[in-house]
């Protein structure tokens, strides 16, 4: 999986209203055998988009100043430092190479002559989002065990126990309740809760969540 610059997981979560619309769209495709792609409204026409990409690629490759090397390398090293004792495959030199590629691609998109700090920060943000879509939090970089890293399982276990404890006295457990009880990061709790919700482990109730038994 490290051969890709970016990977984003798209969850197919059951939703009756959305699923009904999809079912109708499939039916319409079979009812009307003519290609209906011309009916799709696009903000940028495909032909114009292709021309822009070709034009951008005809320009010189954006340079990468030493200051940008520092920003991207510092991010890479900060992740590596957190996992010095961990044996699972972590963010690798290939991942760092991808960071530079993404930053340069962002600069090229804007026809910039060199990569700026803004481009580098955006590349880091996009890369972090890609990692978080496959696991829980920036810390979980295990490529071999995506979705079941030790820290992820421990975080889910902590949140389950917190919800169970809170719901003994309340109808549901809010994010703030869980953060307070377990002293966890609010963003990580929110992300983990959403993952658990997709898996059918928790349900939304009032202003909080309850475990699905």
Using one digit for the tens of pLDDT, what is the confidence trace for 15-48? 889 899 989 888 887 877 665 555 667 888 889 9
For residue 183, pLDDT beyond 80: yes
Shared domain check, 85 and 13: yes
Task: Find the domain containing 94 and state its range.
Answer: 1-147
Residue 141: per-residue pLDDT: 44
For residue 59, pLDDT beyond 70: yes
Shared domain check, 198 and 111: no
For residue 1, pLDDT beyond 60: no
Number of structural domains found in the chain: 2
Cα separation, 110 vs 116, in Å, equals 11
Average pLDDT for the chain: 81
Model-level pTM? 0.55
Answer positive or negative: Cα dihedral of 35, 38, 42, 45: positive
Identify the three-state secondary structure at position 210: strand
Provide the CATH number for the domain around residue 7. Answer: 3.40.50.300
> How does pLDDT run across 120-150, given as a tens digit for each residue?
999 998 888 787 776 644 444 443 333 444 4
């Amino acid at each position: 999986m490290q051969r890709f610059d970016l990977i984003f997981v798209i969850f197919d979560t059951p939703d009756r209203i959305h699923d009904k619309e999809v079912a109708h769209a499939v039916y319409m495709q079979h009812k009307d055998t003519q290609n209906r792609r011309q009916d799709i409204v696009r903000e940028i026409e495909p032909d114009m988009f292709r021309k822009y990409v070709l034009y951008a690629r005809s320009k010189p490759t954006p340079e990468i100043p030493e200051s940008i090397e520092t920003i991207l390398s510092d991010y890479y090293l900060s992740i590596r430092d957190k996992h010095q004792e961990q044996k699972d495959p972590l963010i690798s030199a290939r991942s760092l190479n991808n960071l530079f590629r993404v930053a340069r691609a962002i600069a090229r998109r804007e026809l910039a002559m060199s990569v700026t700090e803004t481009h580098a920060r955006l590349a880091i943000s996009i890369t972090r989002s890609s990692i978080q879509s496959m696991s829980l939090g920036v810390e979980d970089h295990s490529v071999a065990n995506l979705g079941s890293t030790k820290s992820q399982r421990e975080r889910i276990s902590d949140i389950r126990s917190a919800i169970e404890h809170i719901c003994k006295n309340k109808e549901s457990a809010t994010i703030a309740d869980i953060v307070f009880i377990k002293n966890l990061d609010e963003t990580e709790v929110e992300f983990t809760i959403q993952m658990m919700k997709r898996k059918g482990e928790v349900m939304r109730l009032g202003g909080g969540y309850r475990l699905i038994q």
